[in-house]
Amino acid sequence: MGARLLLILLFVLAVAGKSNALSNCGVPKAVLGFSIYEQFEDLSLDGQSKLIGTVSHNGYSEKLGGANVKAVSLINENNNHIDRQEYVVLSNDTGYFEIQLSTGRFKLSAEMPDMQTAILDSFLFEPNVVYKARVSLLYEYLPVPRDSIVRNKPQVIYFKPVIYLYSPEQIKVDLKLKFSGKFIHTYPTYKDGWEVTVKKDGRLESEGNMFDYLFWEGQHDPVANLSDMKQGSLVQKDDIIEFLEKSLTQMGLNDREKQDFISFWGSRLSEYESCFIHFATEQYDQKVPLQIIPKPDNVFRMFMVYMDGAEVDFKPVEQQFEKINRSGFTVIEWGGGQLQPDNL
């Protein structure tokens, strides 16, 4: 404990001595987080899951022994609430820990005396899979501003979510986005919602003007956690367009929707030699609920999250898609945003 206090004091003095330089050059990032970065199959687990990883200080080489690593059950693999299960282990002298646990969704955390707790609110453990984790802790009295701490919540701009409405009969529709972020632009103008008339050909009338879709952009927290986005595809630059055509067709988007999507995103994704692409559906609907009156027969909402493939240090698990049911009054929405993984 004496050595640790001495280390903290030396660090405080070093930072204080460089306060002027920091004010001119910017405050360094400090990493606090619990992230899953890789997974692989292990049939010897006999239907269970395993979590392994290391605990370190501020994401650096100093490994922390004696960290209390905990997994607490939320729901099981069938999405049913179950009796609370709790697994607790201590990291060894090299910071390594290992937990064998049942399948289902768990809240993960790691803590040590005099240090801030790292938390991953929810992660789904599947049978016969080993998951690798990185855990980074910070001292409680951190000599850098709190707003410079990275907490596994990279920011995302919600680029061009567009909403199409289709009805076999002309109807009037009210739509409201429950968006707690900041709107950047909407068209037609969002006035605490949209009121439109849906024509039989799919065009939308609002205040005497005709539109192909409803458009909005905004800034908010990411649609999905980094751990959720381990599902997806790592796509090479030359394969981007073919990949998008195949994926959107599997989802059931029509020719116009696919053309709109690829025209907007194709060139942006092709700026990189490779891209990691994740299509969020349920996560997006939970993050930005959409209230529609009258209630549609079918709703499909998809938000593409992507990042530079050079930043990816895990093997993605390919996503599977169910085709859209487009019968009756149907609502289709797509959008996207780039993930900035400061702490991967």
Tell me the pLDDT tens digit for each residue of 60-107: 668 899 999 999 988 544 444 446 789 999 999 889 999 999 998 889
Pick left, alpha or beta for residue 343 (phi over 0 → left; psi -120 to 50 → alpha; otherwise beta): alpha
pLDDT digits (tens, 9 = 90+) for 136-151: 888 765 444 444 444 4
26 phi/psi in degrees, rounded to 5: 100, 150
Q: Which whole number is the average pLDDT over 272-291? A: 91
Q: Which whole number is the average pLDDT over 267-273? A: 88
Find all residues with CB under 8 Å of 343, minimum gap 6, and list them: 29, 31, 33, 35, 59, 136, 150, 152, 154
DSSP string, 38-59: EEEE-GGGTT-EEEEEEEEETT
DSSP string, 60-121: SS-B-TT-EEEEEEEE-TTS-B----EEEEE--TTSEEEEEE-SEEEEEEEE-TTBPPEEEE
319 phi/psi in degrees, rounded to 5: -80, 150
Of the pLDDT bands very low, low, confident and very high (cuts 50, 70, 90), residue 317 is: confident
Cβ atoms of 269 and 240 closer than 8 Å: yes
Single pTM value for the model:
0.56
How far from chain centre, in Å, is Cα 10? 37
Can you read off the two tokens belonging to residue 289?
């609920």
Q: To the nearest 10°, the Cα dihedral for 299, 305, 309, 315?
A: -60
Q: Which whole number is the average pLDDT over 170-197? A: 92
Comparing CA positions, the residue from 288, 266, 267, 158 lying closest to residue 215 is 158
Q: What is the pLDDT of residue 148?
A: 42
Find all residues with CB under 8 Å of 327, minimum gap 6, and list them: 297, 298
150 or 157, which is more confident?
157
25 or 158, which is more confident?
158
Q: Which whole number is the average pLDDT over 327-344? A: 79
Query: Are β-strands 118-125 and 104-111 bridged in parallel, bridged antiparallel, or unpaired?
Result: antiparallel
Q: Is the pLDDT of residue 15 over 50?
A: no
Please state, in angstroms and rounded to a whole number, the distance separating the CA atoms of residues 209 and 206. Answer: 5
pLDDT digits (tens, 9 = 90+) for 303-314: 998 888 888 888
Lateral strand order in the sheet of 96-101: 33-41, 129-137, 49-57, 96-101
Q: To the nearest 10°, the Cα dihedral for 95, 98, 103, 106?
A: -30
62 or 197, which is more confident?
197
Q: ∠ at Cα 149 (148, 151), nearest 5°?
A: 140
Query: Are β-strands 298-308 and 330-338 bridged in parallel, bridged antiparallel, or unpaired?
Result: parallel
Where are the domains positioned within the chain?
Answer: 27-150, 156-338
Write down the CATH number for the domain with range 27-150.
2.60.130.10
